[in-house]
Structure 1
Amino acid sequence: MTRKQYQSATGQRSTQIAIASFVIGTLLLLAFLTTRHEYVLLAGFYYVLLALATNLIVLGNLLYQCARLHNHRDYYGVKILLVLANIPIAFVYLKIIINSL
Structure 2
Amino acid sequence: MENINVLLCCGAGMSSGFLAQKTRKAAKKQGVNASVEARSESEIPQYLDAIDILLLGPHYASLKEQMQEQAAPYSVPVEVIPQDIYGMLDGPGLLKFALEHIQA
What TM bracket, shorter-length normalisation?
under 0.3
Whose helix proportion is higher, 1 or 2?
A: 1
TM-score using structure 2 length: 0.27
TM-score using structure 1 length: 0.28
Whose strand proportion is higher, 1 or 2?
A: 2
The structure having more radius of gyration, on CA atoms, is 1
